């Protein structure tokens, strides 16, 4: 028997290992890259992260106006794509959908304000694509932009003038004309 065998752990010691903090920027980058891959595979055309995504506006600031409009939002879409995409990942604590019953999800309201501002700037339709940890993608779009397909089934949530629906279901129930000019 050696001295290591006789050591007793002090359970009252407050110097426990702290959980490692998640790097929000890296997580956001990964989420955007995953979305670009999903869209590229689904539509057969290249989607990529936009230069203006995150805090990269300094790289876009000197570009001509038409280029800025192309690079607005989180995803640079192929020509003719009707939507400006705001991509979000995580936010489990901030986006409690049970608060829909109370009429207010302040974080979602921030996302809506951001994507509506971008949509007005670049003259495209706004859509928010949200990925929670280990959950499927969720799409949020204006009811007026749904082209009459929403409600396309009983599985959606209306949040003011917006609807929240499974992104997989939205892709399944729409065709290319819904997404492209």
Tens digits of residue pLDDT in 16-37: 555 555 544 555 578 999 999 9
The pLDDT assigned to 116 comes to 95
User: Which residues, in sequence order, are bridge partners of residue 128?
Assistant: 86, 140
Q: What is the CATH number of the domain that holds 79?
A: 3.40.1350
Residue 5, in any domain of the structure: no
H or E element at residue 126:
strand 125-131
Residue 105, in any domain of the structure: yes
DSSP-assigned states of every residue in 43-107? HSS--EE-TTSTT-HHHHTTS-HHHHHHT-SSEEPPTTB-EEEEEEE--TTT--GGGGGGT--HH
The pLDDT assigned to 13 comes to 61
Residue 130, in any domain of the structure: yes
Interior/surface letters 124-136, b for 16+ CB within 10 angstroms, e for the rest: bbbbbbbbeeeee
Low-confidence spans in the chain with pLDDT less than 70: 1-28, 51-71, 95-101, 103, 149-154
Count of the separate structural domains present in the chain: 1
Residue 143, in any domain of the structure: yes
Residue 83, in any domain of the structure: yes
Domain membership of residue 90 as a residue range: 22-179
What is the reported pTM? 0.76
Residue 9, in any domain of the structure: no
Is the CB of residue 95 less than 8 Å from the CB of residue 84? Answer: no
The pLDDT assigned to 90 comes to 81
Residue 16, in any domain of the structure: no
Residue 17, in any domain of the structure: no
Q: Helix, strand or coil for residue 148?
A: coil
């Amino acid at each position: 028997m050696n001295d290591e065998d006789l050591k007793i752990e002090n359970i009252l010691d407050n110097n426990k290992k702290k959980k490692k903090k998640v790097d929000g920027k890296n997580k956001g980058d990964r989420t955007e890259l995953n979305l670009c891959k999903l869209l590229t595979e689904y539509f057969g055309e290249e989607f990529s992260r936009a230069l203006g995504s995150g805090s990269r506006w300094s790289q876009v600031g000197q570009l001509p106006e038409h280029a800025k409009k192309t690079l607005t939002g989180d995803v640079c879409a192929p020509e003719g794509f009707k939507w400006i995409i705001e991509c979000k990942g995580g936010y489990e604590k901030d986006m409690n959908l049970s608060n829909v019953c109370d009429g207010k999800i302040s974080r979602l309201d921030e996302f809506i304000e951001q994507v509506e501002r971008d949509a007005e700037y670049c003259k495209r339709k706004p859509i928010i694509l949200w990925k929670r940890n280990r959950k499927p993608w969720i799409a949020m779009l204006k009811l007026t932009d749904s082209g009459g397909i929403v409600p396309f089934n009983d599985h959606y949530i209306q949040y003011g003038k917006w609807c929240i629906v499974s992104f997989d279901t939205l892709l399944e129930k729409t065709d290319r004309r819904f997404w492209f000019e």
